[in-house]
Amino acid sequence: MATENRYLESKDQETGEETQIQGDVLDKIVSHLPTIHLVPPFYVSKLWQRAVFSCVRNPSRTKPWLIIYVQNRRNLSLTTTLAYDPSSNVWIKFTGSLTMTYTSPLRSCHFDTLYMLTPSKFSFSADPLHVKWRDIVGPRVWRADPIVAIVGSCIVVAGGTYDFEDDPLTVEMYDTSCPGWFTCPPIPIILKDSAATTWLSVAVSDHKMYLLEKNSGTFCSFDTNTKRWSETSGSCVLHPDPSIYFSVIGFAGHRLILVGLMGDAENAESLRIWEVNCDRFDCEEIGKMPLEMFYMLKNVNTMPLLIDISVAENFIYIYNSSEPSDIFFCYLNEGVCQWGSVRCSFLSGRVLMDRIVFTSSKVSLDDLRKTFWLGSRKFKVQLAETNIQ
């Protein structure tokens, strides 16, 4: 990203003198820039800095990004980073040192965190653009498809065991404030046949990890403070409507959100959203995907219709990670669901060749400054879908 460190200037028609663009005109110009391009103007002058600050304070500029990592299955180090900025309505492709060299399969947990797991090492990154990584020793039990959650200062790794001799319900926790892995009470027995991320949806609050069996709706939670599973484990089913056949959960702000498909896997009828009361576990419907958009979701995916979500702040991205040619989103704006969709044809057919990992995060101007301007990283940014191969 490059820019010349100067004011935009124009000629005064009467005097012929050059005048600086400022005030409402400057604010208008800056407001049309994609968020990723607001960093260079920030360093032009105090006048431009004020205009940039005024722009990013607009609520329309605070919508979380969807960030997609496309990792070559044969050569894991070949990973491309793509991002969708809903505030600017642009796709962004990052190349260069923003993309680190990955040495093991890349995975995501509860939407905003990336991690890599090997028998000897656990690496994770929780910053919005996943530039900073931390390495710790791997858990004692080797797992192929574990549930992973970072809850406060604790890392919870559960289920997904690789060896049939290992307990499929085993749970380990690592406290970064007092390093070391230790064993916790196992996942409730009712989830014995589905104790892996393939079958479970995960959501995280300040000190709890919530698990939802995607098909049955069986719901439970684990408290990292008490190191105990909820008393309702095994008896709570989070199905506010009996016609739900598949559902996932996530936190939108401080609200636990349930997204459910209605009907059956071969004939899905609708997609709805509920807010879940974490004390009583009752649900209130807060949104329904418009029918024309739901038909788009059905038409671009083969049966059975399943979904994945990425949630950050009050933004819910909805997609099918096995066929992510279209991304749908719901913005929970003051109690009203605002729906939209964006085409990402550059991912069509890639799932056969590549591992595709989704995260979503609120990306601030400060995050962009630290990543692309204040550091020594060299990078290239491409905007618009036609520039992304």
- The conformation of residue 97, written as its DSSP 8-state character, comes to T
- DSSP for 306-335? --EEEEETTEEEEE-TTS-SEEEEEEEETT
CA atoms within 13 A on the CB side of 233: 19
What local confidence, expressed as pLDDT, does residue 29 receive? 83
Residues 28, 118, single domain; the answer is: no
Q: Is 4 contained in some domain?
A: no
Any domain includes 167: yes
Instruction: Let me know whether 151 and 186 are in one domain.
Output: yes
The reply to whether 30 falls in a domain is: yes
- For residue 339 the two structure tokens come to 């729906």
What pTM was computed for the model?
0.88
Q: Which two tokens mark 351?
A: 């799932």
Distance (Å, whole) CA 274 – CA 333: 15
CATH of the domain at 334: 2.120.10.80
Closest CA to 258 of 309, 222, 301: 309
In a domain, 191, yes or no: yes
- For residues 101 and 44, membership in a common domain is answered with no
Cα gap 307→105, rounded to integer Å: 22
| Same domain (yes/no): 223, 98 | yes
Same domain, 67 and 51: no
Report yes or no: 67 and 359 within 8 Å, Cβ to Cβ: yes
Quote the CA–CA distance of 136 and 125 in Å, as a whole number.
12
Residues 29 and 46 reside in one and the same domain = yes
Q: Is the pLDDT of residue 60 over 60?
A: yes
Identify the domain containing residue 38 by its residue range: 9-56
Query: Which among 229-233, 253-257, 258-262 has the top mean pLDDT?
Result: 258-262
Tell me: do 42 and 141 sit in the same domain: no
Answer yes or no: do 44 and 145 share one domain.
no
SS3 (DSSP) at 299: helix
Q: Which two tokens stand for residue 150?
A: 């970072």
The last residue of a domain, from among 41, 56, 71: 56
Closest CA to 208 of 187, 192, 194, 229: 229
Alpha helix stretches (DSSP H) within 32-80 = 39-42, 46-56
The per-residue pLDDT for range 133-187, each reduced to its tens digit, is 999 999 999 888 999 999 999 999 999 987 666 788 999 999 988 888 999 999 9
Cβ pair 387, 93 in contact under 8 A: yes
Which has more pLDDT, 74 or 11? 74
Residue 350 neighbours by CB distance under 10 Å = 17
Q: How many domains does the chain contain in total?
A: 2
Same domain membership, residue 193 and residue 82:
yes
Closest Cα partner for 145 from 167, 160, 159? 160
Task: Let me know if residue 3 belongs to a domain.
Answer: no
Does residue 26 sit in the same domain as residue 119? no
Task: Tell me: pLDDT of 17 over 70.
Answer: no
292 falls within a domain: yes
Asked if 21 and 130 sit in the same domain, the reply is no
Q: Has residue 2 been placed in a domain?
A: no
Point out the domain boundary residue: 19, 39, 56.
Answer: 56
The answer to whether position 94 is within a domain reads yes
pLDDT digits (tens, 9 = 90+) for 345-365: 787 767 778 889 999 999 999
Residue 46 and residue 52: Cα distance in Å, rounded?
Answer: 10
Q: Which residue has the higher pLDDT, 388 or 215?
A: 215
Distance between CA atoms of residues 318 and 342, nearest Å: 11
**Separation CA 133–CA 354 (nearest Å):** 22
Q: How far is 9 from 2, CA to CA, in rounded Å?
A: 18
Specify whether the CB–CB gap between 326 and 312 falls below 8 A: no
What is the per-residue pLDDT for 2?
A: 40
300-324: average pLDDT: 86
Percentages helix, strand, coil for the chain, rounded to the nearest 5?
15, 40, 45
Residues 38 and 71 in one domain: no
The answer to whether 371 and 131 have CB atoms below 8 angstroms apart is: yes
Short-list 233, 257, 261, CA closest to 247: 261
Across the range 305-329, mean pLDDT stands at: 90
